[in-house]
Structure 1
Amino acid sequence: MLTPDPSASGEQAFDVPRHVAIIMDGNGRWAAKRHLPRKLGHRQGVEAVRVIVRAAGEMGIRYLTLYGFSSENWKRPAEEVSDLMGLLRLFIRRDLAELHQNGVQVRIIGEREHLEPDIVALIEEAETLTHSNDQLKLIIAFNYGGQNEITSAVRRIAREVKAGTLDPETITQETVAAHLDTAGVPDPDLIIRTSGEKRLSNFLIWQSAYAELVFTDVFWPDFSPERLKEAVLEYNMRDRRFGAVGEPVKS
């Protein structure tokens, strides 16, 4: 793990997890609390994304995964779904140049079959433009569901077995991981969920096996760099043994 130099601020050094994943929850309740339309909560949530992506890079986090739109979110009212799709368009069009300039690599995971063609084109543009960047890997889970991801991975593995290119006796955990949307991305060390809910909601089901979980009551639009640091400090208080006995294992 990376250890930032705190000398400038006089703060105590702490270990920064390599991969942080965040379930961005509470936009609607943030808006309701202020007697505002839900769509304004989602828009404020996008502003929080911009702030946290910048803060994660400055902290030395190497991988940041954000749960933007789940495969279950299609059950929401059509107007709200349309607003969420529009916000993805806005985020990519407005912020892609800055992300690229700052060395951020953008990767979108999740199913693309039901997305509008212009959104798919924007996703592909973002991934292609930033492919070689290596300062921060930003993974956005959009139209994503963990169970769907595992099912698709099993389906791909089954095709390879049927084609005779894969011996079922050689299938390992690494084989499955290599067929997931997150292939090549290390499993998250820390998963944060905002808004006070305490569940994963079908997010990174396979990858979260040994992640540390931090739940905060703060709604996502109010989640600040200070709150991110608090979560990282709590992560530092955990002993990560990965089923072993003895000294904690550092990632």
Structure 2
Amino acid sequence: MTPERYAESPEPADRWPPGTFLAELSGAREAAKVLLSLGTHRTYEADEILLAEGGRETFVLLLLSGVAKVTAISEDGDTALLAVRLGGDLVGEFAALDNQPRSATVTAAGPVSVRRIGQHEFLGCLDGYPPAALAVSRMLVRKNRWSVRRRGDFGSFPVGTRVARVLVDLVEDYGQPQRGGTLIGPRLTQAEIAGLVGARERRVHHVLGELAEQGVIQVGYSRVTVVSLEGLRAAARLPQTDD
């Protein structure tokens, strides 16, 4: 990839949203630059599948812009929303690392731009750039912590607390400050939030309404704005921050 084409990337390497894979590389610009030069550029439209659960391909996708949703088929046959990913995130790394079938489906929530990087190139970059390997390790730990926390929340807390905890995670990882609060970046329907917390959509609708009535959040069409992070953390039974 030439320097001119690298300059066409949607965002500079140091402007990725906090919590994303490339944000982890903000102090290792060379590693980030190399990753952004690998593979080929691809674009996807809303609802187009980027990766399919059970697929045997081993390439990874480095998201440059847009939002993607990660889903999997549960034991009862339902489709569960596991996570959301933004520009700067990496998806598909499990298959690249262990050569096993894809563990989830990744679908574009709107227009998405990516770098599609082959397994050999990806692993070679990790070998040649320790900061990139460390960022992948941290990302895997973060994903595992999210999964463990979700399982613990399901067994220990009522739906209202689980919803508040997921919203705290989303606003801290992907929040976009704006007048009057912080907008959660990914567009998520109430059904999708229900999938994240393992609850019925009707119950999630009720919880969001209660939080809105308390002045903690504002709910729009597939959008949630956090008006009071302190109030949300209280609803999530989390300690208050020092900010």
Tell me the TM-score normalised to structure 2 length: 0.28
Report the TM-score, using the length of structure 1 for normalisation.
0.27
